[in-house]
Amino acid sequence: MCPVLFLQHSSIEERDHLQVFLRIRPFTSAERSNGESLDCVSIESPDTVLLKPPCSTDKSLPQTGQRFQFSQVYGP
């Protein structure tokens, strides 16, 4: 493979990198009054969130949180 073509291919990959942004909206008054779990989403860093299962989920299922990473996270 020609080195020039390899460098061009590499720069195209960097330029076309996909970015994903997450916006977390505030709970509505109806959600708050229904007793929705307000701590189900935690912003751990500017690009990472932790999702925890609601208290009302089936207790036989694993109750661990799941961590997701984005380009940027915007809180409520």
Euclidean distance between the first and the last CA atom of the chain, given in angstroms as a whole number: 49
- Average pLDDT of the residues in 53-66: 70
Radius of gyration of the chain (CA): 20
Structure tokens at 24: 């977390």
pLDDT of residue 2 exceeding 50, the answer is no
Q: Which range of residues forms the domain containing residue 42?
A: 3-74
pLDDT of residue 8 exceeding 60, the answer is no
pLDDT of residue 48: 95
Q: Per the structure, how many domains does the chain have?
A: 1
Pairing of strands 21-23, 72-74: parallel
- Rounded Cα distance, 53 and 47, in Å: 20
22-51 pLDDT per residue, tens: 999 988 888 888 876 777 888 999 999 998
Residue 15 to residues 2, 7, 9, 18, 32: CA-CA distances in angstroms? 20, 12, 10, 9, 42
- Average pLDDT of the residues in 38-66: 80
